Amino acid sequence: METLKEKKKEAKNPATIRISGAEAIIHCLLAEGVDLLYGYPGGAIMPVYDELYKFQDKLTHILTRHEQGATHAAQGYARVTGKVGVAMATSGPGATNMVTGLADAQIDSTPMVCITGQVTRQLLGSDAFQETDIIGISTPVTKWNYQVTRAEEIPEILAKAFYIARSGRPGPVLVDITKNAQIDELDFSYEHCTGIRSYNPVPKPDASAIEAAAQMINAAKKPMIVFGQGVILGHAEDELKELIEKAGIPAAWTVLGLSALDSDHPMNVGMVGMHGNYAPNMLTNECDVLIAIGMRFDDRVTGSLDTYAKQAKVIHFEIDPAEINKNVIADIPVLGNSKETLSLLLPKIKKNNHGAWHDEFKKRYKIEYDAVIKDELYPTKEGMTMAEVINEINIASGHKAVIVSDVGQHQMIACRYSKFKQSKSNITSGGLGTMGFALPAAIGAKMGAMEREVVAIIGDGGYQMTIQELGTIFQNKTPVKIVVLNNDHLGMVRQWQELFFESRYASTVMSNPNFVKIAEGYDITAKKITERKDLKASVTEMLASKDAYFLEVEVEKEDNVFPMIPSGACVTEIRLK
């Protein structure tokens, strides 16, 4: 292979090197600090894979078993590290298989760059073999996308891609690169992108809005904070904690906000939303000031907008102007990065405690504990509950594990009962609700945080959507811990069928394979337990393993997740049974 010095001699400009577009892509990734990416090769991206082979000492490529798995692995890596995740695939079906991961990353604000190969420029629009208009397909589910047709475009476009993916409210970017652009040569140099005309990713905070917010918070009698993933993405965990402690404000979290504040913090009052805790849901409609920080008022949080927090003044701290007044009208919108805006707010906040208001949360927690939590964590019935499994993992891991959950009943139970002491510990598919997310995302999370224990919590339905990624674990010897909570049903759909469709279980009963034998076929230590007496020892054994481990737990078939707010109902219509 020619050295960079020799290639510089061939270039027309002494400040550049003469290389192929494919090699330029590798140099761009290295310049952006990428050392790990996920993907699946094919004809239209083969020149890049050939260059990857030459640079494998600097850039590790993880061969997943499906392109969707590559995107979810990149998401898991991004969520646990805060870096941009990278995935790569060929044209046609390779590219379309990435769409679910792109959509998931878009709605959950995950920074990701996906690179796809494309047929040559001359064949575009001719319905050539494995040609698909991935730009048109992916436009609704990406923060930005672009089709490169000339080698000379590659450095500038990839620099923009990484800048857009990570800046402001993060999101996924797709760059589609024709095969001729990969093969042709260019005079290569690389400049990091630091700004784009008309793109202002971080709004400048308005001093008057911050002053108004401080005055409203200081005057409040029953303030309540609801924080989301914007706190984590903005690295504002310390500022959030300081605000809560200084002003004495009860703080609740969205699913993606979980782990931004220690679970055992005395002012952490639990989860809001459809399967959230009783107290914060009920008291949303009693607070006088609702302070939303880095959350977007998703319908699963608000229930009926016609009845949501109508008595409260709303302060909305948000980086994305498009989210202001989209669902809930804000009396005081505060635009900007949450770390910056909260830092400006804190000196203006008066010390307070709101003791009587906190007591209202404690009373309602007692109601929920007696009606739901006690029986979930310490059941007297024969069958195991999902909650007691999560609780056992909490205890055995010292509340330090990264929990990667899939979508369904087990997801809500994992969010309700997982306890965390460190940010970036809860990884799940929030807005899109993608079954099959957890297994590949856990692979990416583990590779991004090898020093941490990573446990995937998955239902028997979602597990089988990406079960082929056991091959990725096998090939790379990734020490992920996999827990399948098996109730032989598509549990969440079955719950709705029981409650709202007169127990007509249409297509929700699962006839499952022998999961243990499948895992063992991939050389993964595997075990199934059906009795409570084996739970503690099995979880301890799993976490003690230095290698990948699969644990299947047979849980109650017709357990429901409560509390529950029926879809479209008021948050105070929350059901405990």
Residues with catalytic roles: 67, 129-130, 179, 492
Strands 185-188, 17-20: pairing kind? antiparallel
555 DSSP 8-state letter: B
d(CA 496, CA 491): 9
In a 10 Å sphere around its CB, with 0-12 CB exposed, 13-18 middle and 19+ buried, how is residue 531 labelled?
A: exposed
Sign of the CA dihedral 105, 106, 107, 108? positive
**Peptide bond before residue 563 is cis, with ω within 30 degrees of 0:** yes
In a 10 Å sphere around its CB, with 0-12 CB exposed, 13-18 middle and 19+ buried, how is residue 351 labelled?
A: exposed
Concatenate the DSSP letters of all residues of 254-275 into one string.
-GGGTTSS-TT-TTEEEE-STT
d(CA 294, CA 17): 44
At position 111, the amino acid (one-letter code) is P
d(CA 451, CA 437): 22
Q: Is 313 in contact with 319 (CB distance < 8 Å)?
A: no
How many other C-beta atoms lie within 10 A of the C-beta of residue 350? 12
Sign of the CA dihedral 395, 397, 400, 403? negative
